[in-house]
Chain A
Amino acid sequence: MGRGGSRAAPAAAAPPWHVLPDEVWEHAFSFLPADSDRGAAAAACRSWLRAERRSRRRLAVANCYAASPQDAVDRFPAVRAVEVKGKPHFADFGLVPPAWGAAAAPWVAAAADGWPLVEEISFKRMVVTDDCLEMIAASFRNFQVLRLVSCEGFSTAGLAAIAAGCRNLRELDLQENEIEDCSIHWLSLFPESFTSLVTLNFSCLEGDVNITVLERLVTRCRNLKTLKLNNAIPLDKLANLLRKAPQIVELGTGRFSADYHPDLFSKLEAAFAGCKSLRRLSGAWDAVPEYLPAFYCVCEGLTSLNLSYATVRGPELIKFISRCKNLQLLWVMDLIEDHGLAVVASSCNKLQELRVFPSAPFDAAEQVSLTERGLVDVSASCPMLESVLYFCRRMTNEALITIAKNRPNFTCFRLCIIEPHTPDYTTHQPLDAGFSAIVESCKGLRRLSVSGLLTDSVFKSIGAHADRLEMLSIAFAGNSDLGLHYILSGCKSLKKLEIRDCPFGDKPLLANAAKLETMRSLWMSTCSLTLGACRQLARKMPRLSVEVMNDPRRGCPLDSLTDESPVETLYVYRTIAGPRSDTPACVQIV
């Protein structure tokens, strides 16, 4: 290798890197942390492309329709870990028609064929069938990690196949999936010789679990670090499990509810006292404040606390949280109220992420005293706070301006004022000034959700200032096409834009068509779009897939509809795979 004696004429010497073998580049690329960096390197020249793609081990496909599974397998033959995401984010809230798509089967089939050495598979918002799970269990001899997030379409029969077939399984992580319960005792299918489990999360599973089998499994898997139980495990059994796995780092308690009994309390307290490594805690706690003190011994060590399913409230809850002085992540219900958040602000100074969920999202009469005050307090006192999701019923520009001034380090700011079009409740002005302050101050903001009464001018600020913004969610905001135009003509780093119920029409969409190819996807539902504009967009931009969805109850033969017909939902994404062929009747690709 190398030049060997070309010291003679420096001007004529070829750059040395031309002749370095691929292995050297592969090693160099292994230091590139982000896939985008690897992608950039691959675009430099053919030899780098070859070296990079042949050494890529981890692949993240953020939109399953952006490329075909075969494209992915062909381009990156050495992948060991693959993550694929399917439905758009608004599918979480019921805005995507059933049977829309995002089937995992083609990906599993392609992987089985082209990536036999795959060790990790993650699917998010996809339809995963039992057949998929059976194929996974049968196809990859060193399969180790299965992560399913917000998926549906499978049952405990599929889990049984995984348990029985994956001898080297380390992680089975099921987050918020819809799993059909076939009453199959899938846990029993882990063989007695199986001891490799490190993560077991079945918190979203309805239905019963054989507790004896679970205990045996937990006992023999000495490396178990994460255990998240479902609601079928009673409290005293939880205590037993903890005694068998004191090395646990992350625990989901499942349903934490029983009538108070001093014996059970002592048992729990002792069990938790043994868990010296416990750092992350979650669970669906049903209003049993009397048991909270059982956790006191682990509070000091906790870095993550997810009480977003816990309906417990009152002084015991606040006292408990205030003891968790090292919390970095806190997810709670608004039952914590402003005064609880004030305590959090003073106790949990290392807080980085806060999420406050609504306990009664549909009941306007329900009075929970959680207002802008709580968020102001936390943002004032927690210097490392960078990620916020906050549901409340009222807000002021002044509060937002204060928050922006206190916390210019926000990377994610999602505010949801529950009633659409709610203005600043003291001045009755739109919240333009407040959100503008946020984007002007937080230069590193990557994700933003806006709400409340907003005019086009807030979008002007966002378009102009939010240079690093990658994902923007807008609902019930703006008053004309200009709003959308500001966003699409600004926001240099925008990748995902999701809009619902805004008066944005065809013009800004067509005027900024080129922008859409620089983005991953655009979602617009219940806006003022017409079919003609969508057709025009599709004609103009062949590398975009333009999907139109209308009322599934009406027949949807789009060819017969005129250009003036309103479009209920538009979903546009860039793709190299051409139009997909698995759309249901109510979805059409124009």
Chain B
Amino acid sequence: MGDAPETSKTLRNWMGELRPSDQGDDEETLQLSLGLPGGGGGGGGTGAGLPPAAAWRMLSAREKEMRSAAAAAAAVDTSMLSLGYSAPAFSPRSPGKAKGSPAAATENARLASTNNASQARQRSPNTPVIGWPPVRAFRRNLATSSKASLEHQNGKKADKPEQTTKRAPFVKINMDGIPIGRKIDLNALGSYDELSLSVDKLFRGLLAAQQDPLDAGTKERSQEEVAISGLLDGTGEYTLVYEDYEGDRVLVGDVPWGMFVSSVKRLRVLKTSDLSSSVTNSIRPEEDGN
């Protein structure tokens, strides 16, 4: 590493203190990094002192790889998958939520997206971003509850005022055939789609372990795990129902998401075959739980 003498000088500068005599190198390096592949790039105003070709030649192969990946990673997608934690489930937001702004799309078009998977993690477009924008969990539901109450305000006069609690606690969720339940944080989710995904993530492993006792206890994610799907429309092996504060069991998916979050007390994943066939036939296709 560090074939060209200029390159090793650059590296050495970074390992030690930046001395005034190194300012020149600093400027060069600055212009190097502003000169994204394709020229111009995000730097805009600051003109690169070196033509892009010369600038790239100064870097070693690995540096180039890192820079392009870094640049690509920085601008390739406005929504990047970054790992976040909402105990206990990892809940990606549904696609389409975080959209690229027109300007960002131009950025993407201008830059060659050399997505070097070994350096920068593979990021698919429109994958939701965890923990962004940086608002606390209980702020997330305000939007949906506010929209619902705005609708009431605008004339769909409800019989009783909307009983929105701002923050639903973790709710218990049990699955048929699995003795141990889980808890799920509804505040970290924003739609029925996400809830369905979370349920899948929570129970997929447990379900596989139940069905094959030999697998129980291994950390290895076995390839035999089957995704739990069709929870909301009656097409899957399991169906999601919930219990509200009055103790009734209700199919998940009928009411707006915000209203659901405020009225749900616990969740159950039942075998679809246990529900009567007339019920499963009459389950409406899942509406946009936005």
Contact assessment for B42 and A566 in the assembled complex, using a CB-CB cutoff below 8 Å: no
The interface bits of chain A over 499-515 (1 if a CB of B lies within 8 angstroms of the residue's CB, else 0) are 01111010110110000
A44-98 interface (Cβ within 8 A of B): 90, 92-98
Chain B residues closer than 8 Å to A335, beta-carbon distance: 146
Chain A residues closer than 8 Å to B46, beta-carbon distance: 457
B18-54 interface (Cβ within 8 A of A): 18, 29-30, 33-34, 36, 41-46
**Chain B interface extent, by class:** 35 or more
Contact assessment for A505 and B106 in the assembled complex, using a CB-CB cutoff below 8 Å: no
Chain A residues closer than 8 Å to B88, beta-carbon distance: 98
Contact assessment for B135 and A93 in the assembled complex, using a CB-CB cutoff below 8 Å: yes
- A369 at the binding interface (Cβ < 8 Å): no
Instruction: Tell me, rounded to whole Å, the shortest Cβ–Cβ distance linking A517 to chain B.
Output: 16
Contact assessment for A361 and B139 in the assembled complex, using a CB-CB cutoff below 8 Å: yes
| Alpha-carbon distance A502/B73, docked complex (angstroms) | 8
| Alpha-carbon distance A503/B114, docked complex (angstroms) | 14
Chain B residues closer than 8 Å to A357, beta-carbon distance: 135, 139
With beta carbons under 8 angstroms apart, the residue of A95, A98, A257, A489 that contacts B87 is A98
With beta carbons under 8 angstroms apart, the residue of A259, A422, A502, A508 that contacts B14 is A508
B67-119 interface (Cβ within 8 A of A): 67, 69-71, 73-75, 78-80, 82-88, 90, 93, 97-101, 103-104, 106-107, 119
Contact assessment for A480 and B71 in the assembled complex, using a CB-CB cutoff below 8 Å: yes
- A23 at the binding interface (Cβ < 8 Å): no
Contact assessment for B74 and A476 in the assembled complex, using a CB-CB cutoff below 8 Å: yes
Contact assessment for B90 and A526 in the assembled complex, using a CB-CB cutoff below 8 Å: no
Contact assessment for B71 and A479 in the assembled complex, using a CB-CB cutoff below 8 Å: yes
Across the A-B interface, how many residue pairs have beta carbons closer than 8 Å?
227
| Alpha-carbon distance A546/B123, docked complex (angstroms) | 27
Instruction: Tell me, rounded to whole Å, the shortest Cβ–Cβ distance linking A155 to chain B.
Output: 10
Chain A residues closer than 8 Å to B146, beta-carbon distance: 287, 311, 335, 359-360
Among A115-123, A273-281, A413-421, the stretch in contact with B:
A413-421
Contact of A391 with B131 at beta-carbon distance under 8 Å, contacts A455-B34, A526-B83 already known: no
Instruction: Tell me, rounded to whole Å, the shortest Cβ–Cβ distance linking B204 to chain A.
Output: 11
Chain B residues closer than 8 Å to A258, beta-carbon distance: 161
Residue of A nearest to B120 (CB): A528
Contact assessment for B82 and A525 in the assembled complex, using a CB-CB cutoff below 8 Å: yes
With beta carbons under 8 angstroms apart, the residue of B41, B83, B149, B164 that contacts A569 is B83
- A398 at the binding interface (Cβ < 8 Å): no
- A26 at the binding interface (Cβ < 8 Å): no
Residue of B nearest to A429 (CB): B44
Chain B residues closer than 8 Å to A418, beta-carbon distance: 133
Chain B residues closer than 8 Å to A178, beta-carbon distance: 169
- A206 at the binding interface (Cβ < 8 Å): yes
| Alpha-carbon distance A481/B219, docked complex (angstroms) | 36
| Alpha-carbon distance A526/B131, docked complex (angstroms) | 12
- A236 at the binding interface (Cβ < 8 Å): no
Chain A residues closer than 8 Å to B143, beta-carbon distance: 358-363, 366
- A374 at the binding interface (Cβ < 8 Å): no
The interface bits of chain B over 141-156 (1 if a CB of A lies within 8 angstroms of the residue's CB, else 0) are 0110111011011000
- A237 at the binding interface (Cβ < 8 Å): no
- B290 at the binding interface (Cβ < 8 Å): yes
Chain A residues closer than 8 Å to B221, beta-carbon distance: 553
Contact assessment for B161 and A455 in the assembled complex, using a CB-CB cutoff below 8 Å: no
Q: How many residues belonging to A are interface residues under a CB distance threshold of 8 Å?
A: 86
| Alpha-carbon distance A480/B138, docked complex (angstroms) | 35
- B253 at the binding interface (Cβ < 8 Å): no
| Alpha-carbon distance A333/B147, docked complex (angstroms) | 13
| Alpha-carbon distance A309/B142, docked complex (angstroms) | 7
- A284 at the binding interface (Cβ < 8 Å): yes
| Alpha-carbon distance A180/B290, docked complex (angstroms) | 27
- A482 at the binding interface (Cβ < 8 Å): yes
- A485 at the binding interface (Cβ < 8 Å): yes
B126-177 interface (Cβ within 8 A of A): 129-140, 142-143, 145-147, 149-150, 152-153, 161-162, 164-169
- A440 at the binding interface (Cβ < 8 Å): no
Instruction: Tell me, rounded to whole Å, the shortest Cβ–Cβ distance linking B81 to chain A.
Output: 8
| Alpha-carbon distance A306/B97, docked complex (angstroms) | 28
Instruction: Tell me, rounded to whole Å, the shortest Cβ–Cβ distance linking A386 to chain B.
Output: 21
| Alpha-carbon distance A473/B164, docked complex (angstroms) | 33
- A181 at the binding interface (Cβ < 8 Å): yes
Contact assessment for B43 and A455 in the assembled complex, using a CB-CB cutoff below 8 Å: yes
Contact assessment for B33 and A456 in the assembled complex, using a CB-CB cutoff below 8 Å: yes
| Alpha-carbon distance A433/B78, docked complex (angstroms) | 21
A323-355 interface (Cβ within 8 A of B): 333, 335
- B234 at the binding interface (Cβ < 8 Å): no
| Alpha-carbon distance A88/B245, docked complex (angstroms) | 35
| A residues whose Cβ falls under 8 Å from a Cβ of B | 90, 92-99, 176, 178, 180-181, 204, 206, 231, 255, 257-259, 284, 286-287, 309, 311, 313, 333, 335, 357-364, 366, 391, 416, 418-423, 425, 428-430, 433, 453, 455-457, 460, 473, 475-482, 485, 489, 500-503, 505, 507-508, 510-511, 525-526, 528, 550-553, 555, 566, 568-569
- Rank and list the top 4 A-B pairs by shortest CB-CB distance, nearest first: A98-B87, A503-B70, A311-B146, A93-B131
Can you list 20 A-B pairs, Cβ within 8 angstroms, ordered by A? A204-B167, A287-B146, A287-B149, A309-B142, A363-B143, A363-B290, A416-B133, A419-B100, A423-B42, A476-B74, A479-B33, A479-B71, A479-B74, A480-B33, A481-B33, A485-B14, A500-B132, A503-B73, A503-B74, A507-B11
Seed contacts A92-B134, A511-B14; 11 additional CB < 8 Å A-B pairs = A93-B134, A311-B145, A358-B143, A423-B104, A429-B45, A455-B34, A457-B34, A476-B74, A500-B82, A528-B66, A568-B83
